[in-house]
Amino acid sequence: MKNNLANYLISIFTLSIFISCSTNPISNIQGVYEVNKDSLNALLQKELSSENVLAAGLLDVALKNAVIEFDIKGDSINGILFFAGNTTLLNAKIIVQNDSLIIKTSELEAILIPTKTGLSYRATGSKISITLEKTERTELSPETKKVIEAQNIALREKEEFEQNLGKWQVGNYVDEFGDKTGNGYAYCLIRGTSENSISTKSEVFIKAMAEGDKLYFQIYNSSFSMKESFPDSEFGTMKMKFPDGNVTSERVFFYENNVSESGDKAILYDFLSHNNGIVKVYIDLATASEYYSDKYQFEIEKNNLAEILNGLKK
């Protein structure tokens, strides 16, 4: 009697699993899928004017370098959409919602639609559906894994960069051979804005360096690939608004695309050395040359400056 009951319960449990798997649409899309580039090309060609030769040429390059590949195991989807310079890494759960297969992350929401040969992928709000063909592979291709790893490294570096913005760090002087001399200086990276007579505000990055009881600044474009151009060997002024609301100007010197405090007393460095609180800084190149109209704004604070400076003295 007990054996019959046990066998009956096992049968019911096994049947319930079978029914569950057979009715779950996710179970029918297990596997590795990759983009059908011919289909993607045909779709995007509709968006381009046949006379736009430049756009067509760029499209060819983008398609050649495109990497769109997903691996679905259980209710998890892992993969990458890399196309035309835009990258989306997918590591998410697939949700069954009103008989639709939905992917939701903090960055996107998309729908998966099974087809005869694979899947159709469409981001919510987009009119474009990407056709994905099912492959015979059980894992992402080695090439795709390399691209994903490279993107993960880039994301980690970006996160580290963002976390360090505004924090003082140790920089190292190097000799003519590029080797460290053993001497260091304190510096921090800050996000700021730039504008001039012909453009609205754009993002820039400021490298602030504390050397010899003064602050020096270098300003870079938003990609950190090029220094902003300054007047050369000219004096100008820099305005500062301190935490108490007091606004002060001090003399600065522009030289080889650097700007440094140059007064008898380095007002900003002196404040940061002894006080907490955010100082708003405004640099107008027109104060040094009538041929420049660029203006820069950023905020700087003491943060861990004292700790870095003490470490450099040891």
Q: How do residues 180-215 score in pLDDT, each as one tens digit?
A: 777 889 999 999 999 988 878 899 999 999 988 999
Centre a 10 Å sphere on the Cβ of residue 10 and count the other Cβ atoms it contains: 10
Instruction: Please tell me the predicted confidence (pLDDT) of residue 263.
Output: 79
Instruction: Please tell me the predicted confidence (pLDDT) of residue 49.
Output: 56
Q: How do residues 251-260 score in pLDDT, each as one tens digit?
A: 999 999 999 9
Give yes or no for residue 62 having a pLDDT over 80.
no
Distances (CA, A) of 50 to 53, 55, 287: 7, 9, 51
The percent helix, strand, coil of the chain (3-state, each to 5) is 30, 40, 30
Instruction: Please tell me the predicted confidence (pLDDT) of residue 32.
Output: 96
Cite the beta strand spans of the chain per DSSP E: 31-35, 67-73, 76-83, 86-97, 100-104, 109-114, 118-123, 130-134, 169-174, 180-196, 199-211, 214-220, 234-241, 247-255, 258-261, 278-284, 295-301
- Give the pLDDT mean for 135-160: 92
Give yes or no for residue 84 having a pLDDT over 80.
no
Q: What percent of the chain has pLDDT over 70?
A: 87
Give yes or no for residue 15 having a pLDDT over 50.
no
Instruction: Please tell me the predicted confidence (pLDDT) of residue 8.
Output: 45
Instruction: Please tell me the predicted confidence (pLDDT) of residue 48.
Output: 62
Q: pTM here?
A: 0.70
pLDDT-based confidence at residue 162 (cuts at 50, 70, 90): very high
d(CA 47, CA 74): 36
d(CA 192, CA 300): 10
Q: What percent of the chain has pLDDT over 90?
A: 58
- Going from N- to C-terminal start, the domains of the chain cover 24-158, 166-313
Report for 16-30, 48-62, 158-172: range of highest mean pLDDT: 158-172
Q: How do residues 228-248 score in pLDDT, each as one tens digit?
A: 999 999 999 999 999 999 999
Give yes or no for residue 177 having a pLDDT over 50.
yes
What is the overall mean pLDDT for the chain? 86
Give yes or no for residue 93 having a pLDDT over 90.
yes
Instruction: Please tell me the predicted confidence (pLDDT) of residue 2.
Output: 45
Instruction: Please tell me the predicted confidence (pLDDT) of residue 59.
Output: 66
pLDDT-based confidence at residue 9 (cuts at 50, 70, 90): very low
Q: Which long-range contacts (CB under 8 A, 24 or more apart) does 114-118 make?
A: 114/25, 114/28, 114/29, 118/33, 118/36
